[in-house]
Amino acid sequence: MLVSQILKTKGDLVFTVAPTEAVSAVAGLLHARRVGALVVLEAEQVVGIVSERDLVRALAEDGPGALGVPVARYMTRDVLFADPGATVDELLEKMTDRRIRHLPVCRNERLVGLISIGDLVKAKISEVEAEADGLKAYIAAG
């Protein structure tokens, strides 16, 4: 299964923030949107990604004072992107190797979606179930 197929089912809604947004506001958005990461955009260009892990690191390093600091200080700048034509297996390997849970999806340098490890696992389970159903039908047909 391809990333583009997952996005057709999941949708292409991506929650974003500006790099100047305060960490406290970002924490509130993560909670309100019930997501684990937000893409950081500046002039429609992806400049980073901020996850729950980044916020925990900010608090561990700088304590409560981190809450008023712009998220640009703590966001992950070395963003790994997913191509819409990438396969589930390719991305599962990349995400496992880098120990990350979210990948912005870009087409022609334009943000078109966000894929999480949960999206990939769900797609993989669907693939395996479809394959098992096909084998059962084949065996039943004799």
**What does each of the 142 residues of the chain score in pLDDT, given as a tens digit?**
899 999 999 888 999 999 999 999 999 999 999 999 999 999 989 999 999 999 999 999 999 999 999 999 999 999 999 999 999 999 999 999 999 999 999 998 889 999 999 999 999 998 888 888 888 888 888 6
Number of domains in the chain: 1
What's the distance, CA 38 to chain centroid?
Answer: 8
The CATH number given to whatever domain includes residue 31 is 3.10.580.10
Beta strands in 10-139 (DSSP E): 16-17, 37-42, 45-51, 102-107, 110-116
Give dist(CA 27, CA 36) in Å, integer: 10
Q: Could you give the CA distance from residue 20 to residue 89 in angstroms, rounded to a whole number? A: 35
pTM of the predicted model, to two decimals?
A: 0.86
Residues linked to residue 56 through DSSP beta bridges, in sequence order:
none
Query: Pairing mode, if any, of strands 16-17 and 37-42?
Result: parallel
Domain boundaries, position 7 = 3-141
